[in-house]
Amino acid sequence: MAYETTSISGVGTGLMARLSTLVTEYRANVARRKVYRNTLRELDALSHRDLQDLGMNKSEIRRVAYQAAYES
């Protein structure tokens, strides 16, 4: 009786590459979210006067934090 053996190493390599990419993207997203939260926290702690010195209003804090984290 003859058996055919098939190598699936190519499939495993592709799967590992995809998993590696997913892990890398997840870590990047976690890092961006951390930058967003820290920036938001720091800007929110500033007084109205300090924000005006920076040329900002309270309503702009979320936008600035988003830009710092996701558009840089």
Q: Each residue of 11-66: pLDDT tens digit? A: 567 888 999 999 999 999 999 999 999 999 999 999 999 999 999 999 999 999 99
pLDDT above 80 (res 6): no
- Residue 52 near residue 45 (C-beta atoms within 8 A): no
pLDDT above 90 (res 9): no
Residue 2 structure tokens: 């003859």
Confidence at residue 40, expressed as pLDDT on a 0 to 100 scale: 97
Confidence at residue 13, expressed as pLDDT on a 0 to 100 scale: 74
Confidence at residue 14, expressed as pLDDT on a 0 to 100 scale: 87
